[in-house]
Amino acid sequence: METLRQKIAGKFLATLREGKALDEGKLEQLEKLLGDSKKPKSDDFIKIFTAPAGGDVK
């Protein structure tokens, strides 16, 4: 059975996918972050959203 946190994360990710505002790589990172059992930290989100599209800074 899904927890409330998992339901919210699933709905949030589905909305982001429908809007196509983020690339698939960032969505996968978010999905992994929100799927972990530990509580995500703000620094984790900053790392995802400040990285350029497609990966590492060159």
Cα 7 from chain centre: 14
Rounded Cα–Cα distance for residues 17 and 39 (Å): 22
pLDDT in tens, 2-26: 788 889 999 999 999 999 888 888 9
**Predicted confidence band of residue 53 (pLDDT cuts 50, 70, 90):** low
pLDDT for 1? 78
What is the torsional sign of CA 17, 21, 24, 29?
negative
* Token code pair at residue 29: 């990172």
Q: How far apart are CA 31 and CA 25, in angstroms?
A: 10
